[in-house]
Protein backbone atom coordinates (compact mmCIF):
# COMPACT_ATOMS: atom_id res chain seq x y z
CA UNK A 1 0.00 0.00 0.00
CA UNK A 2 1.33 3.43 -0.94
CA UNK A 3 1.52 5.99 1.86
CA UNK A 4 -0.61 9.13 1.70
CA UNK A 5 2.51 11.32 1.85
CA UNK A 6 4.12 9.60 -1.12
CA UNK A 7 0.90 9.78 -3.11
CA UNK A 8 0.73 13.51 -2.34
CA UNK A 9 4.35 14.07 -3.36
CA UNK A 10 3.82 12.20 -6.64
CA UNK A 11 0.78 14.31 -7.50
CA UNK A 12 2.48 17.55 -6.46
CA UNK A 13 5.50 16.69 -8.61
CA UNK A 14 3.31 16.01 -11.63
CA UNK A 15 1.11 19.08 -11.27
CA UNK A 16 4.17 21.18 -10.48
CA UNK A 17 6.02 20.02 -13.59
CA UNK A 18 2.99 20.86 -15.72
CA UNK A 19 3.07 24.36 -14.21
CA UNK A 20 6.81 24.67 -14.89
CA UNK A 21 6.30 23.67 -18.53
CA UNK A 22 3.41 26.09 -19.02
CA UNK A 23 5.26 28.89 -17.22
CA UNK A 24 8.23 28.36 -19.50
CA UNK A 25 5.94 28.50 -22.53
CA UNK A 26 4.45 31.74 -21.17
CA UNK A 27 7.95 33.22 -20.87
CA UNK A 28 8.63 32.34 -24.50
CA UNK A 29 5.27 33.51 -25.83
CA UNK A 30 5.48 36.88 -24.06
CA UNK A 31 9.13 37.48 -24.89
CA UNK A 32 9.99 37.70 -21.18
CA UNK A 33 13.17 35.63 -21.30
CA UNK A 34 15.30 38.71 -20.64
CA UNK A 35 13.02 39.96 -17.87
CA UNK A 36 15.77 39.39 -15.31
CA UNK A 37 18.63 40.58 -17.49
CA UNK A 38 21.75 38.41 -17.54
CA UNK A 39 21.54 37.49 -13.85
CA UNK A 40 20.89 34.03 -12.45
CA UNK A 41 19.76 32.99 -9.87
CA UNK A 42 19.26 36.66 -8.91
CA UNK A 43 16.97 38.82 -11.02
CA UNK A 44 18.51 42.09 -12.20
CA UNK A 45 20.99 41.77 -9.36
CA UNK A 46 18.31 41.46 -6.67
CA UNK A 47 16.63 38.67 -4.78
CA UNK A 48 13.30 40.54 -5.05
CA UNK A 49 13.46 42.57 -8.27
CA UNK A 50 11.56 45.71 -9.20
CA UNK A 51 8.23 44.96 -10.84
CA UNK A 52 7.68 44.99 -14.58
CA UNK A 53 5.46 42.57 -16.46
CA UNK A 54 8.39 40.81 -18.16
CA UNK A 55 10.31 40.61 -14.89
CA UNK A 56 7.28 39.22 -13.03
CA UNK A 57 6.72 36.49 -15.63
CA UNK A 58 10.38 35.42 -15.77
CA UNK A 59 10.88 35.61 -12.01
CA UNK A 60 7.65 33.69 -11.32
CA UNK A 61 8.90 30.96 -13.65
CA UNK A 62 12.11 30.73 -11.64
CA UNK A 63 10.28 30.62 -8.31
CA UNK A 64 7.87 27.92 -9.50
CA UNK A 65 10.77 25.88 -10.91
CA UNK A 66 12.66 26.17 -7.60
CA UNK A 67 9.69 25.09 -5.49
CA UNK A 68 8.86 22.19 -7.79
CA UNK A 69 12.52 21.19 -7.77
CA UNK A 70 12.38 20.82 -3.98
CA UNK A 71 9.28 18.61 -4.29
CA UNK A 72 10.96 16.50 -6.97
CA UNK A 73 14.02 15.98 -4.75
CA UNK A 74 11.79 15.02 -1.79
CA UNK A 75 9.91 12.55 -3.98
CA UNK A 76 13.13 10.97 -5.18
CA UNK A 77 14.54 10.69 -1.64
CA UNK A 78 11.36 9.06 -0.35
CA UNK A 79 11.37 6.68 -3.31
CA UNK A 80 14.92 5.58 -2.51
CA UNK A 81 14.30 5.29 1.23
CA UNK A 82 10.84 3.68 1.27
CA UNK A 83 10.13 2.15 -2.16
CA UNK A 84 13.57 1.15 -3.44
CA UNK A 85 12.40 -2.48 -3.66
CA UNK A 86 10.28 -1.42 -6.63
CA UNK A 87 12.09 -0.82 -9.89
CA UNK A 88 9.57 1.38 -11.68
CA UNK A 89 9.26 4.29 -9.20
CA UNK A 90 13.05 4.43 -8.90
CA UNK A 91 13.28 4.93 -12.65
CA UNK A 92 10.40 7.41 -12.83
CA UNK A 93 11.49 9.53 -9.85
CA UNK A 94 15.13 9.36 -10.93
CA UNK A 95 14.36 10.46 -14.48
CA UNK A 96 12.19 13.29 -13.18
CA UNK A 97 15.04 14.55 -11.03
CA UNK A 98 17.55 14.21 -13.87
CA UNK A 99 15.41 16.05 -16.43
CA UNK A 100 14.51 18.75 -13.87
CA UNK A 101 18.20 19.43 -13.24
CA UNK A 102 18.98 19.47 -16.97
CA UNK A 103 16.17 21.90 -17.79
CA UNK A 104 17.14 24.18 -14.89
CA UNK A 105 20.75 24.29 -16.11
CA UNK A 106 19.62 24.95 -19.68
CA UNK A 107 17.35 27.74 -18.44
CA UNK A 108 20.22 29.31 -16.49
CA UNK A 109 22.53 29.02 -19.51
CA UNK A 110 19.92 30.71 -21.70
CA UNK A 111 19.90 33.68 -19.33
CA UNK A 112 23.64 34.06 -18.84
CA UNK A 113 24.73 33.20 -22.40
CA UNK A 114 22.94 33.50 -25.73
CA UNK A 115 21.43 30.22 -26.85
CA UNK A 116 20.41 29.49 -30.44
CA UNK A 117 16.78 28.64 -31.27
CA UNK A 118 17.59 24.94 -31.84
CA UNK A 119 18.99 24.71 -28.29
CA UNK A 120 16.07 26.64 -26.80
CA UNK A 121 13.60 24.35 -28.58
CA UNK A 122 15.33 21.41 -26.93
CA UNK A 123 14.69 23.07 -23.56
CA UNK A 124 10.96 22.53 -24.08
CA UNK A 125 11.63 18.94 -25.10
CA UNK A 126 13.48 18.28 -21.85
CA UNK A 127 10.57 19.76 -19.90
CA UNK A 128 8.23 17.44 -21.79
CA UNK A 129 10.26 14.42 -20.70
CA UNK A 130 10.26 15.65 -17.09
CA UNK A 131 6.46 15.96 -17.09
CA UNK A 132 6.03 12.52 -18.67
CA UNK A 133 8.22 10.98 -15.97
CA UNK A 134 6.05 12.46 -13.21
CA UNK A 135 2.89 11.23 -14.93
CA UNK A 136 4.36 7.72 -15.08
CA UNK A 137 5.00 7.87 -11.33
CA UNK A 138 1.43 9.01 -10.60
CA UNK A 139 0.00 6.20 -12.73
CA UNK A 140 2.23 3.67 -10.97
CA UNK A 141 0.94 4.90 -7.60
CA UNK A 142 -2.66 4.56 -8.79
CA UNK A 143 -2.08 1.01 -9.98
CA UNK A 144 -0.40 0.06 -6.73
CA UNK A 145 -3.31 1.51 -4.76
CA UNK A 146 -5.57 -0.91 -6.62
CA UNK A 147 -3.39 -3.77 -5.43
CA UNK A 148 -2.55 -4.98 -8.92
CA UNK A 149 -1.70 -3.74 -12.40
CA UNK A 150 -4.73 -4.31 -14.64
CA UNK A 151 -2.53 -3.72 -17.67
CA UNK A 152 -0.78 -7.04 -17.03
CA UNK A 153 -3.90 -9.13 -17.51
CA UNK A 154 -2.62 -10.54 -20.80
CA UNK A 155 0.40 -10.43 -23.06
CA UNK A 156 0.77 -8.26 -26.16
CA UNK A 157 2.84 -9.00 -29.27
CA UNK A 158 6.20 -7.27 -29.55
CA UNK A 159 4.87 -5.29 -32.52
CA UNK A 160 2.73 -3.15 -30.20
CA UNK A 161 5.76 -1.98 -28.20
CA UNK A 162 7.73 -1.35 -31.40
CA UNK A 163 4.88 0.75 -32.84
CA UNK A 164 4.45 2.75 -29.62
CA UNK A 165 8.18 3.39 -29.32
CA UNK A 166 8.39 4.55 -32.92
CA UNK A 167 5.32 6.77 -32.47
CA UNK A 168 6.76 8.32 -29.29
CA UNK A 169 10.07 9.15 -30.97
CA UNK A 170 8.30 10.64 -33.96
CA UNK A 171 5.93 12.60 -31.70
CA UNK A 172 8.95 14.07 -29.93
CA UNK A 173 10.34 15.24 -33.29
CA UNK A 174 7.02 16.91 -34.14
CA UNK A 175 7.00 18.64 -30.74
CA UNK A 176 10.56 19.84 -31.33
CA UNK A 177 9.51 21.38 -34.66
CA UNK A 178 6.68 23.21 -32.90
CA UNK A 179 9.04 24.53 -30.22
CA UNK A 180 11.50 25.61 -32.92
CA UNK A 181 8.73 27.64 -34.57
CA UNK A 182 8.10 29.52 -31.32
CA UNK A 183 11.76 30.25 -30.70
CA UNK A 184 12.29 31.54 -34.24
CA UNK A 185 9.06 33.60 -34.23
CA UNK A 186 7.97 31.75 -37.37
CA UNK A 187 4.32 31.31 -36.36
CA UNK A 188 3.12 33.74 -39.03
CA UNK A 189 4.78 31.76 -41.81
CA UNK A 190 1.48 30.06 -42.66
CA UNK A 191 -1.60 32.24 -42.40
CA UNK A 192 -4.92 30.41 -42.68
CA UNK A 193 -5.82 26.78 -42.08
CA UNK A 194 -5.88 24.14 -43.53
CA UNK A 195 -4.36 26.01 -46.49
CA UNK A 196 -1.07 27.81 -45.99
CA UNK A 197 -1.22 31.40 -47.24
CA UNK A 198 -4.12 30.36 -49.45
CA UNK A 199 -2.18 27.53 -51.11
CA UNK A 200 -2.27 23.77 -50.68
CA UNK A 201 1.51 23.63 -51.12
CA UNK A 202 3.13 27.04 -50.53
CA UNK A 203 6.57 28.18 -51.56
CA UNK A 204 8.90 26.31 -49.22
CA UNK A 205 11.30 28.83 -47.72
CA UNK A 206 11.96 30.68 -44.48
CA UNK A 207 9.22 30.73 -41.86
CA UNK A 208 6.66 29.36 -44.31
CA UNK A 209 8.75 26.25 -44.90
CA UNK A 210 9.20 25.64 -41.16
CA UNK A 211 5.51 25.97 -40.33
CA UNK A 212 4.40 23.94 -43.34
CA UNK A 213 6.81 21.16 -42.41
CA UNK A 214 5.33 21.15 -38.90
CA UNK A 215 1.80 20.87 -40.31
CA UNK A 216 2.73 17.96 -42.56
CA UNK A 217 4.55 16.27 -39.68
CA UNK A 218 1.47 16.72 -37.48
CA UNK A 219 -0.78 15.18 -40.14
CA UNK A 220 1.55 12.19 -40.45
CA UNK A 221 1.49 11.86 -36.64
CA UNK A 222 -2.29 11.57 -36.80
CA UNK A 223 -2.08 8.63 -39.21
CA UNK A 224 0.67 7.01 -37.14
CA UNK A 225 -1.48 7.19 -34.01
CA UNK A 226 -4.59 6.07 -35.89
CA UNK A 227 -2.66 3.02 -37.08
CA UNK A 228 -1.44 2.42 -33.53
CA UNK A 229 -4.98 2.50 -32.18
CA UNK A 230 -6.28 0.07 -34.80
CA UNK A 231 -3.33 -2.27 -34.24
CA UNK A 232 -3.69 -2.29 -30.44
CA UNK A 233 -7.45 -2.83 -30.63
CA UNK A 234 -6.96 -5.72 -33.05
CA UNK A 235 -4.31 -7.37 -30.85
CA UNK A 236 -5.81 -6.71 -27.42
CA UNK A 237 -9.51 -6.02 -27.88
CA UNK A 238 -11.41 -2.77 -27.40
CA UNK A 239 -11.85 -3.24 -23.63
CA UNK A 240 -8.15 -3.71 -22.92
CA UNK A 241 -6.40 -0.88 -20.96
CA UNK A 242 -3.86 -0.54 -23.78
CA UNK A 243 -6.66 0.00 -26.31
CA UNK A 244 -8.22 2.66 -24.09
CA UNK A 245 -4.89 4.46 -23.79
CA UNK A 246 -4.42 4.28 -27.57
CA UNK A 247 -7.92 5.73 -28.02
CA UNK A 248 -7.12 8.64 -25.72
CA UNK A 249 -3.93 9.30 -27.67
CA UNK A 250 -5.93 9.34 -30.92
CA UNK A 251 -8.54 11.71 -29.46
CA UNK A 252 -5.84 14.03 -28.16
CA UNK A 253 -3.97 14.21 -31.47
CA UNK A 254 -7.23 15.27 -33.15
CA UNK A 255 -7.69 17.92 -30.45
CA UNK A 256 -4.08 18.98 -31.02
CA UNK A 257 -4.64 19.46 -34.74
CA UNK A 258 -7.69 21.66 -34.16
CA UNK A 259 -5.96 23.59 -31.39
CA UNK A 260 -3.22 24.28 -33.93
CA UNK A 261 -5.86 25.62 -36.32
CA UNK A 262 -7.24 27.82 -33.52
CA UNK A 263 -3.70 28.96 -32.73
CA UNK A 264 -3.24 30.05 -36.34
CA UNK A 265 -6.54 31.94 -36.26
CA UNK A 266 -5.43 33.97 -33.23
CA UNK A 267 -2.14 35.22 -34.72
CA UNK A 268 -2.17 38.98 -34.30
CA UNK A 269 -4.42 38.88 -31.23
CA UNK A 270 -1.86 38.77 -28.42
CA UNK A 271 -4.18 37.78 -25.57
CA UNK A 272 -5.93 34.95 -27.42
CA UNK A 273 -2.67 33.85 -29.04
CA UNK A 274 -1.07 33.29 -25.65
CA UNK A 275 -4.08 31.27 -24.49
CA UNK A 276 -4.25 29.09 -27.62
CA UNK A 277 -0.50 28.55 -27.52
CA UNK A 278 -0.66 27.39 -23.91
CA UNK A 279 -3.58 25.08 -24.77
CA UNK A 280 -1.57 23.66 -27.68
CA UNK A 281 1.32 22.94 -25.31
CA UNK A 282 -0.95 21.37 -22.68
CA UNK A 283 -2.65 18.95 -25.08
CA UNK A 284 0.58 17.65 -26.60
CA UNK A 285 2.09 17.20 -23.13
CA UNK A 286 -0.83 15.05 -21.97
CA UNK A 287 -0.79 13.13 -25.26
CA UNK A 288 2.94 12.42 -25.03
CA UNK A 289 2.68 11.34 -21.38
CA UNK A 290 -0.10 8.84 -22.12
CA UNK A 291 1.84 7.56 -25.13
CA UNK A 292 4.94 6.96 -22.99
CA UNK A 293 2.85 5.14 -20.37
CA UNK A 294 1.38 2.98 -23.12
CA UNK A 295 4.93 2.15 -24.19
CA UNK A 296 5.88 1.17 -20.64
CA UNK A 297 2.84 -1.13 -20.32
CA UNK A 298 3.42 -2.63 -23.78
CA UNK A 299 7.01 -3.42 -22.86
CA UNK A 300 5.92 -5.14 -19.62
CA UNK A 301 3.36 -7.18 -21.51
CA UNK A 302 5.60 -8.45 -24.31
- Any idea which residues carry the catalytic annotation? 58
C-alpha distance across the termini of the chain, in Å: 26
For the residues of 133-177, what is the DSSP string, one character each? HHHHHHHHHHHHHTTS-GGGSS---HHHHHHHHHHHHHHHHHHHH
CB hemisphere CA count around 136 (13 angstroms): 25
Contacts 24+ apart (CB under 8 A), 294-297: 294/164, 294/232, 294/242, 294/245, 294/246, 294/249, 295/161, 295/164, 295/165, 295/168, 296/88, 296/136, 297/151, 297/152, 297/241, 297/242, 297/245
In angstroms, the CA 128 to CA 122 distance is 10
3-state secondary structure of 259: helix
Which are the contacts of 57, defined by CB distance < 8 A and separation ≥ 6?
23, 26, 27, 30, 32, 35
Our separate counts of H helices and E strands in the chain read: 8, 0
Are 138 and 10 in contact by the 8 Å Cβ rule? The answer is: yes
Q: How many CB atoms lie within 10 A of CB 98?
A: 16
- Do the Cβ atoms of 106 and 34 come closer than 8 Å? no
What is the DSSP secondary structure assignment for residue 113, as one 8-state letter? Answer: S
Amino acid sequence: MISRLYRLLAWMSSIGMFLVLLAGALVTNTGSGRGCGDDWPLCNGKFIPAFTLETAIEYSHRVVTGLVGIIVVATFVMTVVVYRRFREPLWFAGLTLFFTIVQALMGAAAVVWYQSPPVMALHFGISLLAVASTVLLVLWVRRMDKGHDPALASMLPRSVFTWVLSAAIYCYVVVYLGAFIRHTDSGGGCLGWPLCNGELVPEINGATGIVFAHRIAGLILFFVLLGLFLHVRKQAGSSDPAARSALWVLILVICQIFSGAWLTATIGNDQWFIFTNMLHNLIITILFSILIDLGVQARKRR
